[in-house]
A and B are shown apart, each in its own frame.
Chain A
Amino acid sequence: MSDILQLAQQSLWQPTGLIEQDINNTLGKIMTPGIDYADLYFQYSRHESWALDEGTVKSGSFGIDQGVGVRAVAGEKTGFAYSDEITGNALLDAASAARSIAANSGDQGAVAVRNDRKIAPLYSSANPMESLKDEDKVALLRQIEQVARKADSRVVQVMVSLAAAHDTIMIARSDGLLAGDIRPLVRMNVSVIAEENGRREQGSSGGGGRYTMEYFVEQNRAEEYAHEAVRQALVNLEAQDAPAGEMTVVLGPGWPGILLHEAIGHGLEGDFNRKGTSAFSGQIGQKVASSQCTVVDDGTIANRRGSLTIDDEGEAAKNTVLIENGILKGYMQDQTNARLMGMEPTGNGRRESYGHLPMPRMTNTYMLAGEHDPQEIISSVDNGLYAVNFGGGQVDITSGKFVFSASEAYVVKNGKITHPVKGATLIGNGPDVLTRVSMVGNDLELDTGVGVCGKEGQSVPVGVGQPTMRIDGLTVGGVSV
């Protein structure tokens, strides 16, 4: 048995004396005739956050969430129930509710869970909340505030937040798989408001990943977030109205990869494709992007925010090629959708918590580097927009229309970056936006570790990335006609 699984058992089963026999018994009770698959998902999650606002670290909070989710699957039907008590009785109650989707009961199935896999963890199991003393966390927030305030006299407001979570999970499946994972996650955010001649503009920055809090102190990362937030706010103080209409758009490296997440990623999740509701349905093997584009979803990068040693159904995370040289290669799958589509799971079965059903979700989605120098790409544009920072995005997977909102962008004229423009939403059509990619840079960057993806009311941490990229024609939603 792996060390991680042993640690997970100590947190999840030992406090109430659960043993493997209880798990086998519960799964056996669900696995009566008519039920194809069942799983139990145990979770013990602790989280903490500290916030500085108006010069004071005036709030902090700590929380514990724990429970077990029980799922029974019969064909395309799923029954689900959960309990915030991890006891033998609570398990059996949830099991009987979950299995109610299948009408007839009968002889109980025999399940014996075991763990015979060795998967090397992608991150440390250490509790990030214990990696800094509480007084040092407060001191760090104060220090970062000072860095931001001293960076420029026009900075009038600074907000800094620090959050950490330590999540222990176990999965027991009717096919006998028993697996566990311990996932740290930290995040820091700095946002500032700068004011000049009565005009106020904001800037924000941050980062994190599956690290301990020391990550922010190392290499002065936290200080860099402060400088970056101030720089953005000052740029925005100079920003003019953004143009409106279709034009050439160059996206900077890193976080602008949110384009891929919205335009491509969601449309390639297995559930939508099984149901035929995605604009990408039935297009595997077809050309959906320029041949310069190769896009992957990679949950296997050590310590990344979107990475998972195993997904929430016990599958090892994978590096899945979604688009290779412009050709659509594959979907992201969870157990249920992979089985129903006759495909292999890809380690993308994720859930917000024990109280939610797993679905196919992205991990770290990015485009591989191309061959162009980023400067060459900008120089190639006669008249267009160069967008380097973004807020959130959203997609309608059926029509394929997606948006993402720029928070830092510049007008490009005759190959030169000119003045900054105010934030504008960019809108496009997922299935054809990548066909308009005419140049891909050699400067692949992943984002700094701040992404949260929402789907059907469930939030999960994700990553994105891309090199600089030129798109010949995307609608820019400014006000200047």
Chain B
Amino acid sequence: MGNQSNKSMAEKSWSPQPADAQEKQLLEIADQVLERAKANGATAAEVSLGHGKGMSVNVRNGEVETVEYNRDKSLGITVYFDHRSGSSNTTDYADAALKSCVDAACNIARYTEEDEFNGLADPELLATKIPDLDLYYPWQLEMDEAIDLATRCEQSALDQDSRITNTEGGSLSSHDGADLYANSHGFRGLSRSSRHSISCSVIAGEGDGMQRDYWYDSCRDQSEMRTPESVGKETAQRTVRRLGARKAATGTYPVIYEPMVAASLLSHLVSAISGSSLYRRASFLLDSKGEKLFRDSIRIHEQPLLKKAPGSASFDNEGVATKPRDIVSGGVLNDYVLSSYSARKLGTQTTGNAGGVHNLTIDPTEDIGLDDMIKSMGTGLVVSELIGFGINNVTGDYSRGAFGFWVENGEIAYPVQEFTIAGNLRDMFMGIEVVGSDFDIRRSTRAGSILVGEMTVAGA
């Protein structure tokens, strides 16, 4: 595929806003790099580059602990010589460094082997419109203001409950930047984004009864950020509720995942239906398209074009237009999660997921929050935190360390710790009985509380 259209496309940058000076520089660099790849004999090339800046502060016991200023840039290029490819990246935008970066990628492509599925996305699938998804709210944050917000956040946690004995502090961070993806089909996609976060972590209890927990908020637009006081208060409540934890008893029980950990179940689904797991046959969900994996009531869908959302994007990492789509509806798996490469390997078309899924959402099965779900469960466990990596993507075997609460007669009886929850993900997916409406919208994977009918708990 030639890149004759390079120049004209660069002048008409595909972006919701007109490019500013720094972004014009990104466009110029992209042109320069793609030109050099072509001059080196590459038949196609693609480049991702961007710049960002930010600040983060951490305050502990009311005193500033760290102030960090970030200023980053990076560029990654992949070149194709027909079906051979090579990649390279650099953080240096000086002409000489860019040249040697392109040359390094071309050199690698001399040694890699032919792979007929290698190459850019098909041109007809590339995004032709780049809508403004409202992701860019730079915050002219001064250090003193950041310190003040972090201090208030921590202080309200410390003031909330006398059982709070120690603190890891309050933090505030703010970042913004721009990213450009360009390829030799002439595609240019520029996106700006910002991210602002406030968080707090405190410790309750003493000695071997100490417990730590945290809470945070994160958003594109700082005017929508929760107040430092509410984040601090929630941190304190989440921490003290863990005091007096006992070991859970071994047995099989229903398990409720709180929203913050429920999203992890969707991540395991995505990893099993991702192209690279499928073509390597390294998934427990091989050939499962069209299969009923969940109960009738379950719908899981992507919402890439949500305004202001954390996982929004109008094109994926290879320029392919994203679109809202149902991955699971009526409990049936409709489609996989593919890039151009994995789609070609599987003999189908990309789903616009180079780089991952966008605002993957599991719809509530009813209008229900955590408390009512606990009531209806009767006896079982609520899981509030998971640790460890005990997931086998080839077999679906699942075993993770957990913290949470033992539930009896529809009420939380006491906190529990030092136990694992285990099962097979296929059974766990089919075992999802209720999905709550208490969404966690801070994350790019959106879930409310999830009740899984039966899992093995190993503890005392």
Contact = CB atoms under 8 A, between A and B. Distances in A.
Asked if A and B bind, the verdict is yes
Interface of A: 50, 53-54, 56-67, 76-85, 94, 97-98, 100-101, 134-135, 137-138, 156-157, 159, 193, 195, 200-202, 242, 244-246, 275-277, 279, 355, 357, 391-396, 398-405, 422-425, 427-429, 431, 475-481
B94 to A, nearest CB: 8
Contacts of A422: 392, 395, 397
Contacts of A67: 91
B141 interface: no
Interface string B89-118: 111100001000100110111111111001
Contacts of A137: 111
Most buried by A among B112, B242, B417, B457: B112
B306 interface: no
A428 B247 CA distance: 10
A200 B64 contact: no
Contacts of B166: 275-277
A157 B277 CA distance: 11
A64 B92 contact: yes
B67 interface: yes
Contact of A201 (B104, B390, B394): B394
Given A62-B88, A193-B282, A78 B67 contact: yes
B135 to A, nearest CB: 22
Nearest to B97: A64
A481 B459 CA distance: 11
B108 A134 contact: yes
B320 to A, nearest CB: 20
A100 B395 contact: no
Contact of B387 (A85, A202, A395): A395
B208 interface: yes
B388 A84 contact: no
A61 B88 contact: yes
A134 B113 CA distance: 12
A399 B73 CA distance: 38
Interface string B416-444: 01111111100000000000000000000
Given A80-B68, A82-B71, A56 B115 contact: yes
Nearest to A392: B389
B245 A399 contact: yes
A401 B105 contact: no
Given A58-B112, A405-B390, A481-B251, A63 B90 contact: yes
A391 B421 CA distance: 17
A56 B113 contact: yes
Contacts of A101: 64, 67
8 contacts: A60-B109, A62-B107, A80-B69, A82-B71, A195-B281, A394-B387, A396-B403, A401-B418
Given A475-B420, A477-B399, A202 B282 contact: yes
A189 B68 CA distance: 35
Given A78-B66, A275-B60, A403-B420, 20 more contacts: A53-B280, A60-B86, A65-B90, A78-B67, A82-B71, A84-B72, A101-B67, A134-B111, A137-B111, A202-B392, A277-B212, A399-B212, A400-B208, A401-B418, A404-B388, A423-B397, A423-B399, A427-B420, A427-B458, A481-B251
Contacts of B423: 479
B210 A201 contact: no
Given A63-B89, A481-B250, A403 B400 contact: yes
B211 A398 contact: yes
A100 B143 contact: yes
A405 B401 CA distance: 9
Which of A134, A159, A201, A403 counts the most B-chain CB atoms under 10 A from its CB? A403
B372 interface: no
B458 A475 contact: yes
Contact of B282 (A98, A157, A423): A157
A144 to B, nearest CB: 15
A481 B252 contact: yes
B321 interface: no
Most A CB contacts (10 A, CB to CB) among B104, B115, B210, B385 go to B210
Contact of B422 (A201, A275, A357, A478): A478
Nearest to A245: B250
Given A277-B168, A396-B387, A80 B66 contact: yes
A462 to B, nearest CB: 16
A58 B60 contact: no
Contacts of B245: 399
Contacts of A134: 107-108, 110-111
Contact of A60 (B87, B90, B101, B458): B87
A27 to B, nearest CB: 18
A85 to B, nearest CB: 8
Contacts of A279: 208, 210
B92 A84 contact: yes
Contact of A62 (B108, B208, B212, B460): B108
B212 A425 contact: no
A90 B113 CA distance: 42
In the A-B complex, the 10 residue pairs with the smallest Cβ-Cβ separation, listed nearest first, are A477-B420, A403-B401, A403-B388, A398-B212, A425-B390, A244-B458, A61-B87, A405-B390, A60-B108, A81-B69
Contacts of B68: 79-81, 357
A85 B91 CA distance: 9
Nearest to A405: B390
Most buried by B among A66, A78, A85, A245: A245
Contact of B456 (A159, A275, A479): A479
Given A275-B60, A355-B70, A58 B115 contact: yes
Interface in B211-259: 211-212, 242, 245, 247, 250-252
Contacts of A393: 388-389
B211 A157 contact: no
Contact of B168 (A275, A399, A423): A275
Nearest to B245: A399
A477 B394 contact: no
Contacts of A275: 60, 166, 168
A84 B73 contact: yes
Nearest to B276: A53
A37 to B, nearest CB: 14
Contacts of A242: 399
A425 B397 CA distance: 11
A391 B250 CA distance: 23
A398 B394 contact: no
A291 B417 CA distance: 27
Contacts of B199: none
A72 B64 CA distance: 13
Nearest to B250: A245
Given A78-B67, A277-B166, A475 B419 contact: yes
A294 to B, nearest CB: 23
B63 interface: yes
Nearest to A70: B69
Given A64-B92, A138-B111, A398-B210, A355 B72 contact: yes
Contacts of B112: 50, 57-60, 138
Nearest to A73: B66
B66 A357 contact: yes
Nearest to A84: B91
Contacts of A391: 389-390
Contacts of B76: 63
Given A62-B105, A138-B111, A427-B401, A396 B212 contact: yes
Contacts of A245: 250, 458-459
B389 to A, nearest CB: 4
Contact of B210 (A156, A399, A402): A399
Nearest to B455: A479
B85 interface: yes
B204 to A, nearest CB: 9
Nearest to A429: B418
B418 to A, nearest CB: 5
B65 interface: yes
Interface string B22-58: 0000000000000000000000000000000000000
Contacts of B281: 156-157, 193, 195, 200
